[in-house]
């Protein structure tokens, strides 16, 4: 599907378009399920943390939970290499199917693990094992998914279609929060949710992952991969092939650092921040975060569409400038408000510039590398950077809070975005200088 079929009258082949849309839908739905499973941990951490990390200080409990959240990111480079290799050597479809199976196992472990009161220290160890499995899965999911969505899309609409990776990524977190809202307001009392109800979302996640696995088994392989395979088997490993593109690897690291720190701040950490620093109730916090995620989700395809018209670089520079200048004022104002509406508007305001990164970062990375190492090139340097700067963001923020200097994190985040701005300002615009048609 590298190029659309054209009918005799010059129009687009509707059957070809339908195949593209179906493939993008299945790839996106699977991505949503994976990220739902991963984010269910964050959405329900306020409820299960006391069962695994007994402490009289709720900040310490959340810090321990956030540390395990970061642990899931430490192994993502390994997952990026493993599943990137599978995607580049054996196909995008196989890699995507195996990653969602692994995510299923991680969710099941969390769902059935006994509490600290029952098995002692083994409880957080089992929780850590589950996060490692999920981290390996996501390490490969990002690269394979970004590669698949970019390769399957029409060349003139890559930005728009690849933006659905973050539509479903954010949608996964939103789904986890909506499940939380239903359990909070409809099905369970607060006591039931604290006692055992927090296990339900992980059971749901495992079942959804099984469904996604069967859907992905019937995905179309991309024509870019098929054409690359026709040229003959690869004579070198994905890692060795990646060493031939040091500049592109460095660009992935640089453009990701500030963006991933911002993304995990305004998604993962915001629920804890709004609850503990702003001081809103559990349910109000959930509504605020859900509303901001819906707003963020809507922005993704809009910005992706814009990038197809004006290029990728202007959006990245916009994110870098606005993020470096506005992050500290937004978080400072947010920390002093007590109004849920003000909190929502401030977080939504941050998403206006954060979406400049999230909506197009997948397509930018995919457009940097040739087909033969594209999945590995997207996944591995991204996973390393996310492990260092993304997954650690909640833990760093909570550490500063515990030390009595929460505002230090605001400047840390603004500084990270500024560093990425330097990369955005000097890199080429991948829409106009793309490696998508190279198979070397």
pLDDT at 319: 97
* Token pair of 47 as six digits: 């409820």
- Which residues, in sequence order, are CB contacts of 290 under 8 Å at separation 6+? 174, 177, 178, 181
Question: Which residue, chain included where needed, has tokens 């409809």?
Answer: 186
**If you ran DSSP here, which 8-state letter would residue 3 be given?**
S
CA-CA distances (angstroms) from residue 430 to 225, 248, 383? 20, 11, 20
pLDDT at 5: 44
| pTM assigned to the model | 0.82
- Which residues, in sequence order, are CB contacts of 214 under 8 Å at separation 6+? none
Question: Which residue, chain included where needed, has tokens 């390490």?
Answer: 139
- Angstrom distance (rounded) from CA 262 to CA 415: 11
- Angstrom distance (rounded) from CA 104 to CA 213: 9
220: left (phi over 0), alpha (psi -120 to 50) or beta: beta
Residue 435 forms part of a structural domain: no
Do 295 and 348 contact (CB within 8 A), yes or no? yes
pLDDT at 8: 40
Residue 245 forms part of a structural domain: yes
Alpha helices in 153-245 (DSSP H): 158-162, 164-182, 190-195, 200-216, 223-230, 238-242
Count H helices and E strands in the chain, helices first.
Answer: 22, 0
pLDDT at 256: 93
- Angstrom distance (rounded) from CA 372 to CA 233: 10
Residue 422 forms part of a structural domain: yes
Residue 5 forms part of a structural domain: no
- Which residues, in sequence order, are CB contacts of 228 under 8 Å at separation 6+? 371, 372, 439
Residue 7 forms part of a structural domain: no
**If you ran DSSP here, which 8-state letter would residue 324 be given?**
H
Domain extent, residue 282, equals 20-426
* Token pair of 163 as six digits: 């933006």
- Angstrom distance (rounded) from CA 185 to CA 284: 11
Provide the residue count of the chain: 440
Residue 12 forms part of a structural domain: no
pLDDT at 243: 83
pLDDT at 295: 95
How many domains are contained in the chain? 1
* Token pair of 339 as six digits: 């109004």
- Which residues, in sequence order, are CB contacts of 437 under 8 Å at separation 6+? 2
pLDDT at 13: 56
CA-CA distances (angstroms) from residue 252 to 83, 95, 141, 359, 367? 18, 21, 17, 15, 11
pLDDT at 2: 42
The pLDDT profile of the chain, 440 residues, written as one tens digit per residue, is 444 443 444 344 555 566 667 777 776 777 787 778 777 877 787 787 777 776 655 665 566 666 666 666 778 888 888 888 888 888 888 888 888 888 888 888 888 888 877 887 788 888 888 888 888 887 777 778 888 888 887 778 888 888 888 888 888 888 888 888 888 888 888 888 888 888 999 899 888 888 888 878 777 777 777 777 776 666 666 777 788 889 999 999 999 999 999 998 998 788 888 888 888 887 888 889 889 999 999 999 999 999 999 999 999 999 999 999 999 999 999 999 889 999 999 999 999 999 999 999 989 998 888 888 888 888 889 888 988 888 788 888 888 888 888 889 999 999 999 999 999 999 988 887 766 676 55
Residue 8 forms part of a structural domain: no
- Angstrom distance (rounded) from CA 102 to CA 39: 15
CATH assignment of the domain containing 257: 1.20.1250.20
pLDDT at 220: 75
Q: How far is CA 219 from the centre of its chain?
A: 22
pLDDT at 9: 41
């Amino acid at each position: 599907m590298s190029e659309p079929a054209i009918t005799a009258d010059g129009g687009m082949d509707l059957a070809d378009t339908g195949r593209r849309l179906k493939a993008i839908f299945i790839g996106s739905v699977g991505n949503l399920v994976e990220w739902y499973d991963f984010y269910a941990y964050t959405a329900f951490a306020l409820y299960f943390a006391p069962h695994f990390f007994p402490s009289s200080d709720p900040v310490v409990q959340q810090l321990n939970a956030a540390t395990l959240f970061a642990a899931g990111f430490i192994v993502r480079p390994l997952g990026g290499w493993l599943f990137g290799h599978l995607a580049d050597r054996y196909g995008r479809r196989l890699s995507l199917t195996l990653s969602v199976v692994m995510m299923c196992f991680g969710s099941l472990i969390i769902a059935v693990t006994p509490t600290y009161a029952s098995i002692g220290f083994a409880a957080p160890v089992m929780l850590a094992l589950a996060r490692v499995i999920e981290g390996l899965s996501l390490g490969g999911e990002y690269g394979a998914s970004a590669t698949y969505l970019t390769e399957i899309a029409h060349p003139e609409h890559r930005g728009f279609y690849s933006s659905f990776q973050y539509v479903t990524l954010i949608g996964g977190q939103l789904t986890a929060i909506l499940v939380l809202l239903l359990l909070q307001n409809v099905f369970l009392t607060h006591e039931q949710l604290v006692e055992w109800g927090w296990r339900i979302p992980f059971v749901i996640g495992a079942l959804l992952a099984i469904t996604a696995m069967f859907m992905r088994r019937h995905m179309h392989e991309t024509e870019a991969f098929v054409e690359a395979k026709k040229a003959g088997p690869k004579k070198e490993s994905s890692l060795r092939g990646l060493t031939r593109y040091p500049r592109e690897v460095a660009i992935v690291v640089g453009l990701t650092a500030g963006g991933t720190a911002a993304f995990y701040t305004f998604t993962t950490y915001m629920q804890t921040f709004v609850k503990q620093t702003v001081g809103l109730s559990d349910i109000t916090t959930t509504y605020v975060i859900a509303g901001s995620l819906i707003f963020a989700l809507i922005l993704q395809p809009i910005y992706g569409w814009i990038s197809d018209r004006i290029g990728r670089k202007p959006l990245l520079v916009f994110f870098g400038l606005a993020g470096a200048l506005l992050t500290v004022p937004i978080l400072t104002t947010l920390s002093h408000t007590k109004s849920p509406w003000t909190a929502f508007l401030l977080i939504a305001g941050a998403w206006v510039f954060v979406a400049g990164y999230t909506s197009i970062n997948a397509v930018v990375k995919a457009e940097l590398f040739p087909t033969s190492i594209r999945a590995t090139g997207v996944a591995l340097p991204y996973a390393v950077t996310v492990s260092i700067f993304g997954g650690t963001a909640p833990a760093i923020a909570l550490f500063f809070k515990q030390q009595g200097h929460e505002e230090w994190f605001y400047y840390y985040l603004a500084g990270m975005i500024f560093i990425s701005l330097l990369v955005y300002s000097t890199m080429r615009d991948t829409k106009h200088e793309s490696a998508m048609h190279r198979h070397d």
